[in-house]
Chain A
Amino acid sequence: MKDPVDVLIIGAGASGAAVAWSLAETKMHILCLEQGGWMNPAEYPSTGRDWEAKFYGEWSSSPNVRGRPEDYPINDDDSPIKVVNYNAVGGSTVMYTAHWPRLHPSDFKVRTLDGVADDWPIDYDALTPFFEENDRMMGTSGLSGDPLSPLTHPPMPQQPLGLSGAIIGKTMNKLGWHWWPSDTTVATMDYEGRARCINLGHCTPACAQGAKSSTDITYWPHAVRAGVELRTHCRVREITTDENGMATGVVYYDQDGIEQVQPAHVVIVACNGVGTPRLLLNSKSDHYPNGLANSSGLVGKNLMFHPYAQIYGYVKEPTDSNRAPPTCLWSKEWYDTDLSRGFVRGYGVQFVRGAGPVFEAVVSEQKGILPWGADHHRVFRKLNGHRLGFSAICEDLPEEHNQVTLDPVLKDSHGIPAPKINYTISENSQKMMDHALARGREILEAAGATDICVNSPIPWGGWHLLGTARIGTDPKKSVVNEWGRTHDVKNLFIVDGSIFVTSGGVNPTSTIQALALYIADQMKQRLANLFD
């Protein structure tokens, strides 16, 4: 058995990195266990001529396709939306689009405002200083002053409008609808040791330039310098507890596959909305026969994904294709509830600049708009470099039947039971998606687009893993209290997206990290009586 540490963090992704950095100032002995390793940007796809082909294999966003030793399998056969993630230092921030909206203040009061789901036990104002701190640490770019978004202060200017952005802006103006340059974590100038964006063009599967912020190049270097120990290629099997029901540490497999026991006084889980319930459900004991921190029965339940309704078409003018960050503009025109639309709540929109030639050819052939044979060349030249896209991020409301459980058969390479997803798209979400597609079609047609195609939902669109260990004041209706400590285990905390009560209609990483910093701050304020 190893010497005990003061704080053990499981997972070195978006939230684990933020909480590690924040707690480092306490000078406690902080250890983070991460199942993946450090990334090597020299091996990122954009460094090779075969950069697009890699997305279909070792750089797929799906862990089931990727199948790296660091990944664990996920049974998502019973879900129309497949889970995507990345397992490494930096977690899924290594492989995300860097789109950086925040939840809106109204998103924290859904029950009060719209009579559905539940209010959060904290509000936007409580998170504001942590949003700001996180934006500085991650390094954001954008244009302050969006009238339909919370006020932000990005330290870098917005991305260029580019060819695609100009077409979108003109079209949205013609229709009288809101648009604004997205806040992103793409550095538009040299920032804190990161080089500025040079438009490598496919931010999602990692940025060789280092312009896209991921926590392996933002929080972690600071946290490690401040004394946090980060142990890689260590996969945690279970959190252990004592006869009093307190967490005592973890059992994990080290990089040689050898079982290790790591005692800890405090355990923080930061494994995302699928990995966290998986770990808690795998941590059964006599004291916790239904899984750890699960007296409410809600661990794994209320999974929210954000169903994406995507529509795209082809304009006569050239677009930015793959020669720019994929996302550049957003719209909040349909973000808030308007019951005349036939559904409650709403969706954010992210516009997409285009695609590379291989992706264009493969997808268009699958859609049936790129023929085989002699006409292939003419049609491809009409499509390639002319794509314009619209993706609606639809707010998924919590439903207990959408859940993460343990698969009775499937196991990872260490023999640990894998997660199983059961998920259906609700009637409300479906109506929202249909509404979004109709608006997207109006936009594309107003831009002169033809050959319009739809992906609704985007099948491999389960980027946002939320709600499976929700935050709340009532132990019967939530897993963690209003400052992130589990109701059942007084030295166990959860800081990732699983604590979301509702999902909003925006990419969640900014809010996930603000919550992690908020919880770390609450812990620091309560160090003397953390377990009371």
Chain B
Amino acid sequence: MSADNQLTRTQRDDLRAVAGMIVPASDEYNVPGADDAAIQADILATLGRDTKLVTAALDHLARLAGQPLAELDAARRDAVAQEFRKDGGAAAATLVRVVLQCYYRDDRVLRSLGLELRAPFPKGYVLPDGDWSLLDPVKARAGTLRRAP
């Protein structure tokens, strides 16, 4: 069963709201927020083993907010978010992590960062060999290996 079906409508709304608070959209960087529909769909589709902790985090968030997060005014929402992050423990950390891990693999976000839209394998990357004359001072200074009797 996908997380889509495991989270209630309210939990999904709160997840979207808090994700948008973590990473809002930016015109300056031409990126969506983490509350973007495609990113939310990725989160829900891949929640997997994190579902339990994320659900716990959302329950905690709901208790703090007392009503849907999106319906709070900005100041109250920020206060709830701060408290959630401060006292939310492993559950809150997991929720933040699943948001970020889906956000930072989104094509639009990677493009904005100047990163290629691909898995590392099989193309890999090229690494400059560098200037190995940097080692000359180390060779000149030498030193000795500690002797063993």
Contact = CB atoms under 8 A, between A and B. Distances in A.
A386 interface: no
A357 B48 CA distance: 21
Given A149-B145, A161-B132, A377-B26, A173 B137 contact: yes
A161 B145 CA distance: 24
Interface in A147-182: 147-150, 159-163, 165-166, 169-170, 172-173, 176, 178-181
Contact of A160 (B81, B120, B130, B143): B130
Interface in B39-83: 46, 48-50, 81
A108 B148 CA distance: 8
A50 B103 CA distance: 11
B136 to A, nearest CB: 9
A147 B135 contact: no
A376 B23 contact: yes
B22 A147 contact: no
Given A162-B127, A200-B121, A373-B24, A169 B145 contact: no
B96 interface: yes
A336 B48 CA distance: 48
User: DSSP majority for the B interface?
Assistant: loop
Contact of A123 (B21, B130, B148): B148
Interface stretch (A214-222, A361-369, A412-420): A361-369
Interface size class of A (residues with CB under 8 A): 35 or more
B96 A200 contact: no
A52 B128 contact: no
A515 to B, nearest CB: 17
Contact of B100 (A163, A172, A365, A377): A365
Interface string A176-216: 10111100000000000000011111100000110000000
A411 interface: no
A281 to B, nearest CB: 31
B105 A52 contact: yes
Contacts of A56: 50, 97, 101
A173 to B, nearest CB: 5
B100 A361 contact: yes
Nearest to B148: A105
B127 A381 contact: no
Contacts of B104: 52, 357-358, 361
B85 to A, nearest CB: 8
B15 interface: no
Interface residues of B, number: 56
B81 A372 contact: yes
B131 to A, nearest CB: 7
Contact of A209 (B21, B48, B105, B121): B121
Contacts of B123: 198
Interface string B111-149: 001010111111111111111101101110111111111
A235 interface: no
A161 B128 contact: yes
A104 B145 contact: yes
User: DSSP majority for the A interface?
Assistant: loop
A257 interface: no
B22 A372 contact: yes
Given A160-B130, A170-B134, A147 B105 contact: no
A46 interface: yes
A145 interface: yes
A374 B144 CA distance: 54
Scoring B49, B93, B145 by chain A CB atoms within 10 A of each residue's CB, the highest score goes to B145
Contacts of A162: 127-128, 130
Nearest to B115: A357
B22 A376 contact: yes
A121 interface: no
Contacts of A377: 23, 26, 28-29, 31
Contacts of A166: 130-131, 134
A197 B145 CA distance: 31
B124 A362 contact: no
Interface of B: 21-24, 26, 28-29, 31, 46, 48-50, 81, 85, 93, 96-97, 100-105, 110, 113, 115, 117-132, 134-135, 137-139, 141-149
Given A51-B120, A53-B102, A377-B26, 9 more contacts: A52-B104, A53-B101, A143-B135, A145-B139, A148-B144, A160-B128, A335-B146, A362-B101, A376-B23
21 contacts: A44-B121, A47-B121, A49-B105, A49-B118, A57-B49, A57-B50, A109-B148, A147-B142, A147-B144, A166-B131, A166-B134, A169-B134, A172-B138, A322-B120, A324-B125, A365-B96, A372-B22, A373-B22, A374-B26, A376-B23, A381-B29
